[in-house]
A = this chain, B = another copy of it.
């Protein structure tokens, strides 16, 4: 197994040279931190990944969770992981000091999660979900809920989950049927079924805390009648002892990948004794949940990026070591074979992977920086960065998920037949990564969210901010002759994106929502390529700055490689927008007109 799963050099390049995380320490909220602290945190994260998570990456896959006598057995290391993440302060790293957190900038905390996910995506799911759930309780729950649950969760003793999906309501949350009946004692009696709940039950913790959507009896139909509850697996009795809360593990799914983490089917209230505690106000649950959901969506994008990053380094490692064939034009069979990385087609496959994973990571960190800005800036700026996050969330979720699959597949291809066998980790990455376009809202859902909601929200204000950010980057890039051509190419494509957007909005007005959104997935793809090109341009600016300031000799290869990856993106990926634009400007509404019966025979 390859020893390297992330590039620390690249992480520092993005943190310090592109996104200038140090500038955050100029704001009051982050003034306790400095680069030395960040470097130490990063070092600790890499060490944890290397020592604890990466060594069991395959083992957790080979020994998948099983439901035994009503309890889900997971890899024994999960207990250690949760304990270490709790004691090390990793689960609460984004929480403020006064809530026993580390008050770390999201940029830093998110990069640490990226490192953990690259080392072992399944392993990181446990603490990551726990943070998402504790953050949700903190944001909208009472002090009593906070005090009862959050310290245990942050200590890694109790698992957190998000429990939305139901058997008859996958992506359509309006149709959930889990009920909540008010009871004396300040709680509700919960009854229903949930499916696909990640880490929904396991023996690595003493309790599981579900942040669960349900409908209070008499609530309005549809999404406006959904409330949010804390529903623990075990509740505290009057003596402070944990007793069963009537949440049964009804089944554990056998999955293609992502096998280190169980996905559960849960049954609540089989004995009419499942208690839930309301979070915030009744019927506001979906709005609350969307905080966790949005974080989770970016989290999926980060995880997908991390997985594809680890796969890239595994492929890179192989191509440097594997000798085969000769350079084209060297026909003499007596010449020794060369490492396959010297073949142009292999370099192309590697550059594709690098362009995807480093472009995607930049986007994820761009989002992290916006989260940080929301914490430190004034109201008007906060609104701006909130809207930028809103519009970028479907991209940050989907681009790494969809392109991560292709990137990992190219990584597998670099190994030829060996990539197909389980002696190498590529086949596992290929299985693991296929979850990403599905969980936390499928790609189709993300497309509709982007075009049908985010692009048109507040009269297109989010979209305008997005355009402005890119135009700023284009402006900055144009001051470097090495980047001018790329800046111009992106500018042209940005105009294409605006034209397509206008065309679709007109279509919406003339023909209604179905015609408007029929190709939302393609629109998302177009939007994503523009977004990643922007992120590559930002990286190009940072490289050119560094080179102008006389970069260290040891950094020269890194910067050269960056420029080649940038060139790759603009030369091979950006042109893909042409076909997308062509289709998106078309008036042939064939997917709308297609009828079910025509699929017969």
Query: A residues touching B (Cβ–Cβ < 8 Å)?
Result: 7, 9-10, 165, 168-172, 174-175, 195-196, 221-223, 253-258, 263, 316, 320, 323-329, 333-334, 337, 339, 341-351, 354, 405, 409, 412-413, 416-417, 419-423, 427, 430-431, 434-435, 437-439, 442-444, 447-448, 512-514, 516-522, 557-558, 560-561, 564, 567-568, 571-572, 575-580, 582-583, 586, 588, 590-601
Contacts and interface: CB of A to CB of B under 8 A. Distances in A.
A364 B521 CA distance: 30
9 contacts: A172-B326, A222-B333, A256-B427, A347-B591, A522-B572, A558-B601, A564-B598, A575-B578, A576-B579
A204 B434 CA distance: 34
B420 A435 contact: yes
A568 B590 contact: yes
A417 B405 contact: no
Contacts of A522: 572
A324 B171 contact: yes
A146 to B, nearest CB: 31
Contacts of A172: 324-326, 337
Contacts of A422: 254-256
A401 to B, nearest CB: 11
A575 B583 contact: yes
A434 B421 contact: no
Given A9-B601, A170-B417, A575-B579, 14 more contacts: A165-B417, A221-B334, A254-B421, A345-B447, A345-B591, A348-B518, A348-B591, A349-B444, A413-B437, A417-B439, A420-B434, A564-B594, A567-B588, A578-B579
Interchain residue pairs A-B with the least CB separation, the first 6: A222-B333, A575-B579, A561-B598, A344-B518, A9-B601, A575-B582
B586 A571 contact: yes
B256 A600 contact: no
A344 B169 contact: no
Contacts of A586: 571
Contacts of A170: 324, 416-417
Contacts of A323: 168
A256 B571 contact: no
A599 B329 contact: no
Contacts of A196: 417
A115 to B, nearest CB: 16
A329 B601 contact: no
A333 B225 CA distance: 11
Contact of A588 (B7, B334, B339, B571): B571
Contact of A561 (B444, B578, B599): B599
A221 to B, nearest CB: 4
A517 B571 CA distance: 16
A206 B495 CA distance: 67
A601 B7 contact: yes
A576 to B, nearest CB: 4
Contacts of A582: 575, 578
B568 A347 contact: no
Given A561-B601, A590-B564, A601-B557, A320 B417 contact: no
B601 A10 contact: yes
Given A327-B514, A512-B329, A513-B329, A592 B344 contact: yes
B405 A409 contact: yes
Contacts of A421: 253-256
Nearest to A344: B518
B514 A591 contact: no
A514 B420 contact: no
Contacts of A348: 518-519, 521, 591
Contacts of A578: 575, 578-579, 582
B409 A597 contact: no
B412 A434 contact: yes
A320 to B, nearest CB: 7
Contact of A594 (B222, B351, B405): B351
Contacts of A557: 597-598, 600-601
Given A254-B421, A329-B512, A417-B165, A590 B576 contact: no
